[in-house]
Chains A and B, each alone.
Chain A
Amino acid sequence: MRAQYDKEHFRKHSLPTPFYPRMAELSQDSSWHCWKGYLSADYFENVELEYFAIRNACSVMDLSPMSKYRIRGQDAEAFFDRMVTRDMSKLKPGRVGYSVWCNDQGKVVDDGTIFRFGEHDYRLCAYERQYEWLMISSAGFDVDITDETEGVAALSVQGPTSFAVLSKMGLSGIETLKPFGIVHFPYHGGKLMVSRTGFTGDLGYELWVGGSKALTLWDELFEAGKHYGIRAIGTHALDIARIEAGFIQAGDDFTPANHTIRKDHDRSPFELGLGWLVHLDKPNFTGRRALIREKEKGSRYRLVKLDIDGNKPAHASYIFHGRKKVAGVVTSAVWSPTCKQNIAFASLEVAIDDPLNDLWAEIYYQRELQWNRVWQRCRVHDEPFWSPPRRRATPPGLF
Chain B
Amino acid sequence: MTDRYDALIIGAGHNGLVCAAYLAKGGQKVLVLERSEQVGGAAITREFAPGFKVSACAHILHMLQPKIVRELKLKTHGLNLNGPPIETISLAADGNKLTICRYNIEGAEVSDTDKVAYTRFIKRMERHARALAPQLLKTPLRLANAGFGNVIKLAGMGWDIRFGLGKKRMRDFLRIIGMNIHDLLDEVFESEALKGALALDAVLGTAMEPRMPGTVVTYLYRLAGGLKSIPTLPMGGMGSVTVALADAATSFGAEIRTAALVETVLLEGGCAVGVVFAGGEEVRAPTIISNADPKTTFLKLVGARNLEAGLAHRISNLRTSGRAAKLHMALNSLPDFTGLEQDALGNRLVIAPSRKYLEHAFNHSKYGEFSAAPAMEITIPSLADPSLAPAGKHVLSAIVQYAPYDLKGGWDAQKDTFVERVVDVISAYAPDFRDKITTVECLTPVDIEREFGMTGGHWHHGELAIDQMFMMRPTYGTAQYRTPIDGLYLCGAGAHPGGFVMGAAGHNAAQAIIAGDK
Contacts and interface: CB of A to CB of B under 8 A. Distances in A.
Q: Do chains A and B touch in the complex (CB under 8 A)?
A: yes
Interface of A: 75, 78-79, 82-83, 103-105, 133, 136-137, 139-141, 283-289
Given A139-B316, A283-B269, A284-B270, A104 B305 contact: no
Nearest to A142: B305
Given A139-B304, A139-B316, A140-B304, A286 B270 contact: no
Given A82-B305, A82-B309, 17 more contacts: A75-B305, A78-B305, A104-B309, A133-B309, A136-B313, A137-B309, A139-B309, A139-B312, A139-B313, A140-B304, A140-B305, A283-B267, A283-B268, A283-B306, A284-B307, A287-B308, A289-B308
A135 to B, nearest CB: 9
B312 A284 contact: no
Chain A to chain B: the 6 pairs with minimum beta-carbon distance, closest first: A140-B304, A104-B310, A283-B270, A140-B305, A286-B309, A286-B308
17 contacts: A75-B305, A78-B305, A79-B305, A104-B308, A133-B309, A137-B309, A139-B312, A140-B304, A140-B305, A140-B307, A141-B305, A283-B306, A284-B267, A284-B270, A284-B305, A286-B309, A289-B484
B303 to A, nearest CB: 5
Interface of B: 267-270, 299, 303-313, 316, 477, 484
B306 A83 contact: no
Main secondary structure of the interface of B (DSSP, over half): helix
Contacts, number: 55
Q: Which of A75, A82, A285 counts the most B-chain CB atoms under 10 A from its CB? A: A82
A228 to B, nearest CB: 45
A141 B311 CA distance: 15
Contact of A83 (B303, B304, B309, B484): B309
Q: Which of B267, B306, B310 counts the most A-chain CB atoms under 10 A from its CB? A: B310
A286 B306 CA distance: 9
Nearest to A105: B310
A267 to B, nearest CB: 17
Contacts of B268: 283
Contact of B299 (A78, A140, A286): A140
Contacts of A82: 305, 309
Nearest to B270: A283
A136 B309 contact: yes
B167 to A, nearest CB: 34
Contacts of A141: 304-305
A140 B305 CA distance: 5
Nearest to A136: B313
Q: Which of A75, A82, A284, A286 counts the most B-chain CB atoms under 10 A from its CB? A: A284
A136 B307 CA distance: 12
A103 B310 contact: yes
A292 to B, nearest CB: 10
A283 B268 CA distance: 7
Contacts of B309: 82-83, 103-104, 133, 136-137, 139, 286
A85 to B, nearest CB: 12
A311 B72 CA distance: 78
A284 B308 contact: yes
Q: Which of B267, B305, B308, B477 counts the most A-chain CB atoms under 10 A from its CB? A: B308
A376 to B, nearest CB: 38
A268 B299 CA distance: 27
Nearest to A139: B304
B306 to A, nearest CB: 5
Contacts of A283: 267-270, 306
Contacts of A289: 308, 484
Contacts of A78: 305
A136 B311 CA distance: 10
A289 B269 CA distance: 12
B308 A285 contact: yes
A78 B311 CA distance: 17
Nearest to A140: B304
A283 B302 CA distance: 13
B452 to A, nearest CB: 23
A236 B197 CA distance: 71
A83 B308 CA distance: 8
B484 A140 contact: no
Contacts of B307: 140, 284
A285 B310 CA distance: 11
B313 A284 contact: no
A357 B320 CA distance: 56
Contacts of A103: 309-310
Given A75-B305, A140-B299, A141-B305, A104 B269 contact: no
Contacts of B310: 103-105, 136, 286
Q: Which of A105, A139, A286 counts the most B-chain CB atoms under 10 A from its CB? A: A139
Contacts of A104: 308-311, 477
Nearest to B477: A104
Contacts of B267: 283-284
Contacts of A286: 308-310
B312 A140 contact: yes
